[in-house]
Structure 1
């Protein structure tokens, strides 16, 4: 049985557009009291035939789920952060190799996604159903 037996129905997710040194999107899933986080250089994939790179970063405190604003120059991640979408998700699977979730965003982030671990901090994010 996958290790998603924590009943993660209605857990929070957020996707933050982050204009740092390079534009990327921070994809964060609430899990066990933190936001497990990945940087998506190309954002969420919209086509199930195309995967995007997802680089796992450090976990963040839950308070980051509502952060929008400026990270000052000289600090890690310096730049402008805006919330691209947020909402809740249902976890279908969560283990060291794969994370499968259904996003219920208030904006464009809707649907089933899989994160597939490839090597070190590198994952692929895959859209499992067509965009609505």
Structure 2
């Protein structure tokens, strides 16, 4: 599948004459470690969008309750369409009448290291996601350490679960969403954008 095909669903849902969102060029791998972001999105309901740079696009999941630092907390992650790499640092207001209308801030941003293994061998992140289970270490401005993303269904019922892995960065007694609600890039809240 070409990079443009990967972004077809994203482009079909948006009128780029109205929305400030990037239309996206053909994806390409960036230099260095792959990037991730978590965007706080106040639309019909407040939620968080996890985006992982994979194969020239941002693989994306909506996380209704946001990420947790508690290893015992499972967070639903609903897959959404691939987004262009340029979306990784998008902040702004998507106008009423447009798909995803509401305000978006970059709640966290950084790089990640794929740590997925099978039978002792490293598994590329794209393959891990295709198989339905990926582990990775986030190096963000807010989130650090290991996370696991596991698919629990397929087709129309495809859902994933995001879980914090046991490591030195796990903090079951700390609500990071409450403690650090604002943009990792600008310090602005969703109300200030």
TM-score, structure 2 length as denominator? 0.62
Higher strand share: 1
Unpaired runs of 5+ residues, structure 1, are 1-8
Spell out, residue by residue over 1:111-132, the C-alpha distance to the aligned partner (whole angstroms, 9 max, x if none). Answer: 1000010013200001002139
Q: CA deviation at 1:34?
A: 0.1
Given the alignment, which residue of 45, 55, 58 partners 2:78?
55
CA distance in 2, matches of 1:25, 1:99: 19
Match status 1:105 vs 2:140: yes
Match status 1:119 vs 2:153: yes
Runs of at least 4 residues off by over 4 Å: none
For these two proteins, the number of residue pairs brought into alignment is 124
Higher helix share: 2
Superposed CA RMSD = 1.6
Spell out, residue by residue over 1:82-102, the C-alpha distance to the aligned partner (whole angstroms, 9 max, x if none). Answer: 010100000112323101110
Q: State which structure, 1 or 2, has the greater radius of gyration over its C-alpha atoms.
A: 2
For 1:15, the equivalent position in structure 2 comes to 38
Name the SS of the counterpart of 2:87 in structure 1: helix
TM-score, structure 1 length as denominator? 0.89
Unpaired runs of 5+ residues, structure 2, are 1-31, 117-124, 175-193
